[in-house]
Structure 1
Amino acid sequence: MPVGTQIPNLGRSRRDRALSDNTADVIVVGAGPAGSTTAYHLARSGLDVLLLEKTEFPREKVCGDGLTPRAVKQLVAMGIDISEEAGWLRNKGLRIIGGGVRLQLDWPDLASFPDYGLVRKRDDFDEQLARQAQKAGARLYERCNVGAPVIDDRTGRITGVKAKLGEEKREVTFHAPLVVAADGNSTRLSLAMGLHRREDRPMGVAVRTYFTSPRHDDDYLESWLELWDRRGAQDRLLPGYGWIFGMGDGTSNVGLGVLNTSDSFKELDWREVLKAWCASMPEDWGYTPTT
């Protein structure tokens, strides 16, 4: 080797690797749709992104599984394959039922949005977005339970997060000049940052289940603005709203939601309310405990 030739560094030291693995330009806490989409676009712009998810994919989440054209546009922008061959079910619009009226509204035909919606189960949907963020360059840590922010004593700014990683719950600290809290409604990180839910905005609770049903290939998402229990001598109006979304796989997603502004919010068993509502539906729809 000629004199003066610099010998290349063929490997990083353990300390260098640790600093690099635990440091990024941006930390995104939560790999739900908001977190994974944020991580995807930041990584695509060239930033080093850490995406931290407390659970392990695939995972369940209570959801109607329906996507409007606005959401479809975002999937297209992320390069997600939304073809029927890839397991997506398209729908034409929204059917609204309430007050003795039944309206069937097609999604509008606009230049800026698709004219169809989609249905996809959340246990698969969230993972697709997280994997797409990975493909864009984001570094995904699953089973990474974030507990508290790291705060710079001099500036008061958040410069990272503390977490427990893996089955062994190994304590680790991640550093970044920007931290995005996308860890959901019960966010621990936001509370630790001193942020609290706005009391002037309502909060909703939802329950849902899947039924084997001939209505599984419905072309419309269905929203019920009134829930009636018709099992007794007199019909009873239940609190909240309901939905029926065909999944295209032989099943329907049937659920209901209620806002905390309802007088019944803390008193009722919402699973029992769902059962009562389903029991009032036509028997041939198949929304019974056996299906």
Structure 2
Amino acid sequence: MREVETIVVGGGPAGSTCARRLVQHGRDVVVLDKAQFPRLKLCAGWITDKVLRDLDIAPGDYPHPMLRLDIRAHVPGLPFGLRWFPTPGANWSIRRIEFDAWLLARAGAEVVAHEVRRIRRDGDRFIVDDAFACRWLIGAGGTMCPVRRALFPEGRNKSRQIVTLEKEFPYPAREDVCRLTFFRRGLVGYAWVVPKGDGVVNIGIGGKAKYFRTSGTNIHDHFRAFLDDLVREGRLDAATVADLKETGHPYYLFSRDGAVRDGRCLLIGDSAGLATMDLGEGIGPAVESGLMAADEILGRGTYHKGEVTLFSLSGLTQRLMRRANRRHLPTPTAA
């Protein structure tokens, strides 16, 4: 059986960030992931200046395309797109198939292709599939993380569940503008068009699963209607839309309930349900939680869920949400 101080289950941004900090301080760490990197990961791929600072990356350090975003927010009833988008600093788009693989390689940790199936405790150790043993166990395997399922059996807060549909594909005719459409056709969520480098675009729609369960609407119908709108606006051609096959996945917005630690076992990133409460942005909270978990192992701090960034739009979102709640209107919670 392989003995190691820390096992990180999941090699995405949360897991690779945690592993990198541990490696930088000379700690023994192994990353387990069932996927071979680079692997396809559909995501709008929005990152902020803060994410780059947390990762200690300058835009020029990144070897793949990183496009600075010109964001326009669209709200029904307004005849124009808001050119001012209230996020501090610059915003960028990346492709997760490139970004995640680069982060994991940069971490410098040993990566083992292994699908985790069984986890048990043995005194102060965790045993993984009777093949690995560790003192610290980090769950970074996303929404369906095997660490969360094995050691955190309490149910998820279903009111915080988000579902998305999206497609990422080459489309050289795309515009270099990121468009976000809120409250489209009553959707409690938003739709997006995110341009990326090398003529790639990511188009998607997301919202609260509860909305689709209670409204009688279907997310696939919302997605196809959004594509039809883009064709009418001249942003996509009909032939491209006809061939698109969207892919969906669920995850969870930040919720104050739900444990993220059990002794020396910590959940980070989407396994902990840390996406921002307003825009559902997950990369920033994943990186933050990965750093916090590593610092706890290093004895440099304590990982507290409440210290992870809650809102992408900071104080403005909180004011809008309070105002919407007072008026009993749906709030802009999204995917």
TM-score (norm 1): 0.72
Q: Over residues 12-37 of structure 1, what are the superposed CA-to-partner deviations in whole Å (9 max), with x where a residue is unaligned? A: xxxxxxx6xx2211100000110111
Counterpart in the other structure of 2:82: 103
Which residue of the partner structure matches residue 9 of structure 1?
none
Q: Would you say how many aligned residue pairs link Structure 1 and Structure 2?
A: 237
1:128 aligns with 2:85: no
Alignment-derived partner of residue 217 in structure 1: 176
Q: Deviations over 1:86-114 (max 9, x none)?
A: 233332553211133332235666xxxxx
Say whether 1:193 aligns with 2:193: no
How big is each residue's C-alpha offset from its partner over 1:108-150, in whole Å with a ceiling of 9 and x where there is no partner? 66xxxxx32221111111111110112xxx11112x1011223
- CA 1:265 to 1:205, structure 2 compared with 1: closer, same or farther past 3 Å? farther
Distance in structure 1 (CA, Å) of the matches to 2:7 and 2:25:
15
Letter in 2 for 1:99: P
Give 1 or 2 for the bigger CA radius of gyration.
1
Cα RMSD (Å) of the superposition?
2.7
Change (3 A) 1:238 1:43: same
**Cα 1:265/1:118, change in 2 over 3 Å:** farther
Give the CA deviation at 1:174. 0.7
Opposite residue 290 of structure 1, the aligned amino acid is: T
Aligned residue in 1 for 2:71:
94
Residue among 14, 19, 24 paired with 1:34? 14
Structure 2 residue aligned with 1:57, among 37, 43, 52?
Answer: 37
Query: Cα offset for 1:194?
Result: 3.3
- Correspondence 1:273 to 2:240: no
Structure (1/2) with the larger helix percentage: 2
| Contact 1:50–1:140 under 8 Å retained in 2 | yes
Task: Kindly provide the amino acid, as one letter, of the partner of residue 181 in structure 1.
Answer: G
Aligned to 1:208: 166
What residue in structure 2 maps to residue 145 of structure 1?
115
**Match of 2:198?**
249
SS at 2:117 equivalent:
strand
Shift of 1:50: 0.4
TM-score, scaled to structure 2: 0.63
Q: 1:181 aligns with which of 139, 149, 153?
A: 139
Asked if the contact 2:10–2:142 (Cα under 8 Å) also holds between the matched residues in 1, the reply is yes
What are the Cα deviations for residues 252-289 of structure 1, in whole angstroms up to 9, with x where unaligned? Answer: 21101121221447965533421211101235211534
Runs of 5+ in structure 1 lacking a partner? 1-18, 110-114, 163-171, 229-236
Contact 1:97–1:226 (8 Å) recurs in 2: no
CA distance in 1 between partners of 2:135 and 2:28 (Å): 11
Query: Gaps (5+ residues) in structure 2?
Result: 242-335
